[in-house]
Structure 1
């Protein structure tokens, strides 16, 4: 099959179910894997730290997109669920003495259960009303964390020991480098799992509920089970992101999980593209790269535009809002759609379609 095939024709179900159908798609996969493997040797420690935060954000954004983009259930409680995952994993590892992998697994399960519980309003609410209900979950979780002194021993934060696996501890000299492989590995697993989820009956039921829940119910989809499972699966992803945040930053505090974080994650899937696993990856990378790139820009123009550097937080906030507005106006389907249009232009050139 040619690299720029004009059509993809299947002669078997196995062929249709493949994730990659053309030579061009397989070549792009090889290039992407090569870039991931080479990246830690090509950037310095600062930018490697930024890449690590992107990897954690990718996991959380994919989870949120499962709920919002694929199931159509709006959620503004992402920060709260991140906090549940972070505090659960930190407490189990620090106080209960569980190995970190088991603590993180428990954090995923606990966050999934909490997400399913707070997803109960989705059985009766939609749209704006559901969004308000999820904001309530965010505020309830943060309120409990702030007021429950036992969680932090009255300090307001938790210190987490450097990651130790089977007696081996992450060395300080290669901290970011080592964490890169851990985070990248988990992010890849999360993306592949999500991509395959929507090839299953459960994933298709999510999309049926999103497109028309009454019609989905008419063809036999259990709306109650599907919505609660969507909240649980989404929150499980977010719990993993929270657990990674706890062990990577080595400090857990409620200030990392405010409503601003929930809005930031929602921006990721809007900019990347709702209903697209790849879009969640693009959006997470874009939104997480925006602040450091603006900081670099402010440093570069400091000589002739010092007001940009002096008001950097305000500039970052304004740019963040402007980006969301521009995407909603000019490309509501996000970066994923931009990428698809670019591929189509190249594939069909010199014809328009």
Structure 2
């Protein structure tokens, strides 16, 4: 009922290749973003932010990575939690051990650490697939648990492994309240989602989908399986 039965007529290639080519989708996404950025901060309590909304946004970020790796590239992975942990602890250490480092560069450097970790544990994908790859990537989860609990340097000598930082700022604006943390996390989610959408529309996205559908045929037509698989692990880990 919301979509035209005959589809959307486009008069140019540029219009057809928009991120959201269907007008109803653009309207719906605009409404959802308005609710998320304006209505929710006005109505939700601190408890709702800390217990539900902020964890939901964080899990949504993780789901984007899983969707790229498993959904678009077809590489079954159980190590996404480990990649998240490496990125989080990496950003924490950059922020804490380099006084004065801005938050955004610390997050980017933490993401690069997670990217390297993802590529390392993505190497088995060059030889195995399916259940065997899932078991191989599960090793990343056990290794990261051992590493962060046994090597106290990563957690700044925290016995439980739980870490936190204070005096968070972005462009001079403090990020201390639950509302500000939610809005900051949501803004990152929107930016990352747009970047991911652009990636899967491009050449690298088509390579991922070709590898997912039939890797042997993809190699025959000139796609490099090693590059496609490891790039999917790298992007999903970041």
TM-score, scaled relative to structure 1: 0.62
**Deviations for 1:192-246, whole angstroms, at most 9, x for unmatched residues?**
111111110001100110000011111110001110110000000xxxxxxxxxx
Q: Quote the residue 2:69 is aligned against.
A: 67
Q: Quote the residue 1:194 is aligned against.
A: 196
**Deviations for 1:132-170, whole angstroms, at most 9, x for unmatched residues?**
100111111211111113223443233422413355433
Provide the C-alpha distance between the structure 1 equivalents of 2:3 and 2:73, rounded to a whole number of angstroms: 34
User: How far 1:7 moved relative to its partner?
Assistant: 2.2
Q: Quote the residue 1:146 is aligned against.
A: 149
Q: Quote the residue 1:127 is aligned against.
A: 130
* Partner SS, residue 150 of structure 1: coil
Q: Quote the residue 1:309 is aligned against.
A: none
Provide the C-alpha distance between the structure 2 equivalents of 1:167 and 1:7, rounded to a whole number of angstroms: 47
Q: Quote the residue 2:213 is aligned against.
A: 211
User: How far 1:5 moved relative to its partner?
Assistant: 4.4
Provide the C-alpha distance between the structure 2 equivalents of 1:66 and 1:96, rounded to a whole number of angstroms: 32
8 Å CA contact retained: 2:75, 2:212: yes
Provide the C-alpha distance between the structure 2 equivalents of 1:101 and 1:125, rounded to a whole number of angstroms: 36
Provide the C-alpha distance between the structure 1 equivalents of 2:158 and 2:182, rounded to a whole number of angstroms: 30
8 Å CA contact retained: 1:71, 1:209: yes
Provide the C-alpha distance between the structure 1 equivalents of 2:26 and 2:81, rounded to a whole number of angstroms: 36
Q: Quote the residue 1:19 is aligned against.
A: 19
Q: Quote the residue 2:170 is aligned against.
A: 165
Q: Quote the residue 2:229 is aligned against.
A: 227
Provide the C-alpha distance between the structure 2 equivalents of 1:149 and 1:179, rounded to a whole number of angstroms: 27
Stretches of structure 2 that go unaligned for 5 or more consecutive residues are: none
8 Å CA contact retained: 1:55, 1:187: yes
User: In the superposition, relative to structure 1, how do residues 220 and 22 fare at CA in structure 2: closer, same or farther (>3 Å)?
Assistant: same
* Partner SS, residue 18 of structure 1: coil
8 Å CA contact retained: 2:89, 2:155: no
8 Å CA contact retained: 1:94, 1:161: no
Match status 1:92 vs 2:94: yes
User: In the superposition, relative to structure 1, how do residues 77 and 26 fare at CA in structure 2: closer, same or farther (>3 Å)?
Assistant: closer
Provide the C-alpha distance between the structure 1 equivalents of 2:88 and 2:104, rounded to a whole number of angstroms: 13
User: In the superposition, relative to structure 1, how do residues 22 and 155 fare at CA in structure 2: closer, same or farther (>3 Å)?
Assistant: closer
Q: Quote the residue 1:44 is aligned against.
A: 45
User: How far 1:3 moved relative to its partner?
Assistant: 5.8
Provide the C-alpha distance between the structure 2 equivalents of 1:185 and 1:123, rounded to a whole number of angstroms: 35
8 Å CA contact retained: 1:5, 1:22: no
Q: Quote the residue 1:303 is aligned against.
A: none
User: How far 1:39 moved relative to its partner?
Assistant: 1.5
User: In the superposition, relative to structure 1, how do residues 127 and 145 fare at CA in structure 2: closer, same or farther (>3 Å)?
Assistant: same
Q: Quote the residue 1:29 is aligned against.
A: 29
Q: Structure 1 residue runs of 4+, over 4 Å off?
A: none
Backbone CA RMSD of aligned residues:
1.8
Farther off after superposition, 188-197 or 155-164: 155-164
Farther off after superposition, 25-34 or 136-145: 25-34
* Partner SS, residue 215 of structure 1: helix
Match status 1:114 vs 2:120: no
User: How far 1:28 moved relative to its partner?
Assistant: 1.5
Stretches of structure 1 that go unaligned for 5 or more consecutive residues are: 237-353
Provide the C-alpha distance between the structure 2 equivalents of 1:198 and 1:211, rounded to a whole number of angstroms: 15
Q: What is the total number of aligned residue pairs between the two structures?
A: 232
Farther off after superposition, 149-158 or 101-110: 149-158
5 Å-filtered alignment, 1:234-253, equals 234-236=236-238
